[in-house]
Structures are given as structure tokens and as C-alpha cells.
Homo-oligomer: A and B are copies of this chain.
Amino acid sequence: MNNEILIFGSLAFDSVQTPFGKRKNILGGSATHAAISASYFTTPIIVSAVGEDFLDEHMQLLKKNKINIKNLERKKGKTFAWEARYGNNPNEREVLATYENVLKDYSPSLLPEHKKTKYVFLANNSPASQIMLLDQLESAEFVIWDTMTFWIDKYTDQILKILPRVDIALFNDFEAMHFSKETNLIKAGKKILSKGVKKGVVIKKGEHGSFLFTHSFTLHLPAYPLEEVKDPTGAGDSFAGGLIGFLAKTGKVDDNSLKKAMAYGTIMASLTVEEFGADRFKKLKKKDIYKRLRELKKLIKF
């Protein structure tokens, strides 16, 4: 297949507390959320590693979603784990603990058959490992990239080397301001774009929606309005999965498809946060996605 998506990120056991409840050791991680989201559009290939505690039931869940796990290594030790707490404002979270475990010294190594994948999502990871993955790609046509504050602070130089190699750079509002040293998001987005990003910079604002700044236009989409955000974890990765999933499926990346891809990202993120972990996708039908997309269109029409 020509429209598969390579997703380099984490598979994790997440423990989260939100005003709607608690969950311990549920399947999470950037690659999980992105891949499940992307699986509604095309076939995701996960590049990552898990530990001995990653059970068959977890593998089955991935397979059930038609996620390619041939490039997923099982290593000695424990799977990456993460604990966080959210308050009433879903845009603010407190990370309580991060256990890198098997991902600590993980170097991604692509199977020969995956090196020619055209669509690639570099989810949050160390810039060094992201560069390692970029170097193995032989015919990538569209790369989207994510990071977090921790890497921005520590490895600015490496990030500046990555930016001109990616088509879309993803930031949340806080990260964008932090990286650009601007307090205004419009300025922040344009400044990051000027660092050489090929097509565009996305700034995700959680419940306030998202921006896409490109060299020729700016798009602003609101979030799909939800009365309850049960668990914000994975929203950004689902967003990325929907965005690149739609583009890979349509097989072209022009202005119009990029704008639509942003809308699909918005919808996939809104679905994720409605339940804990990836629970919302257990019974999700494609028509639910299209319905929500039509509602989003109506929501902003004047």
C-alpha cells in the first residue's frame, strides 16, 4: 500500500485522574492514540518498543484496529508509563510521574519494507531519536512532527535542525510561546514557520481550537464543543492521527486538503477526550466522524 502512515511514538501505560474519575495503567501513549485515530483513514505502522508487561490483549487491541505492529519491538523490562492529573480546566495538567523504561535507550530501526513510507508522524520523542528516524526515510513525502517543552528547553539546536525537514510542526499554545519567546500566538506561529518548516505550523489550543499557519494562508478552527471532557490525554496525538490520516487517504497535500485535514484532526481529538484512554473508539463508526464534521461546519458558518 502506498498510503500507509509511519508513526514513531510511545506505547504507554497511563494512570490518570480527572474530575470524572481515575484509571490506572490503561493503554495510552502518543503512538497508540495517533494510530487508533489514523486507522479510521488508512493503515498506521507503529515504530516503537514495549516491555514484557505489554500483554497479548494490548497487542490484540492494536491489531483489531488494523494497526501494523511489525515494527513494534518487545524488549526486556517494562513498558513506558506515565501518571498525570487534570483539574477542571482540561488545558492544564500536572504530570505526576514519567517512567521511560524500555524507551530510555530505544533507537528506532525501520524494517526495509517501511523505509519507503510516504506519510510519517514523528510523535513526541527525543529530537535525537527523531533525527535517527528521519535519516532512515527514503521517500517520505509528508512528515508531521511533535515535541514537548522538555525537549524544547534541552535541545533547541536539534529542533532547529529538524524543523526544515518536516512539512508540519505541531505545538500546543504553551510550547509555541515558549519556543518562539512570543506571548502572542499569531506572532509565535509565524516566527516558528520562518525557521524553515516546509508547509505549516499548527498551534493546538485545546478547548479553544487550533491554528494552522502556512506560507500562504492562516486557518483557525474552533474545538468541537463538548460539555464533558472526561480525559484530555491523547487529544493532540489523535489530532495528528486524524490530520495525517486524512491526507494519506486522499493522497494529496494541497491547501484545501490541508484545511480539511485540520478539521478531521479536530474531530478525532474531540472523540478521544470524551472517554478515558482510547475507550471512545471501541464502538466508533466512520459515520460518527462525518456527522461531527458536518456539525463543526455548521458551528462556524455565518
Contact A222–B220 (Cβ < 8 Å) = yes
Contact B183–A299 (Cβ < 8 Å) = no
Which among A89, A185, A222 has the highest number of chain B CB atoms within 10 Å?
A222
With both chains docked as a complex, state the minimum distance between the C-beta of A218 and any C-beta of chain B, in angstroms: 6
Q: Known A183-B89, A205-B208; judge A300-B219 contact (CB<8 A).
A: yes
Across the interface, name the chain B residue whose C-beta is closest to A184: B227
- From the candidates B184, B221, B227, name the one contacting A300 in the complex (CB within 8 A): B221
Q: Known A183-B89, A186-B225, A227-B186; judge A219-B302 contact (CB<8 A).
A: yes
Asked if A217 CB lies within 8 Å of chain B CBs, one says yes
CA–CA, A220 and B207, complex, Å: 12
Asked if A226 CB lies within 8 Å of chain B CBs, one says yes
Across the interface, name the chain B residue whose C-beta is closest to A208: B208
Across the interface, name the chain B residue whose C-beta is closest to A226: B186
Asked if A301 CB lies within 8 Å of chain B CBs, one says yes
Asked if A153 CB lies within 8 Å of chain B CBs, one says no
With both chains docked as a complex, state the minimum distance between the C-beta of A193 and any C-beta of chain B, in angstroms: 13
> 1/0 contact trace for A220-237 toward B, CB 8 Å?
111001111100000000
Contact B300–A220 (Cβ < 8 Å) = yes
Asked if A298 CB lies within 8 Å of chain B CBs, one says yes
CA–CA, A229 and B297, complex, Å: 28
Q: 8 Å CB contacts to B: which residues of A189-225?
A: 190, 205, 207-209, 211, 217-222, 225
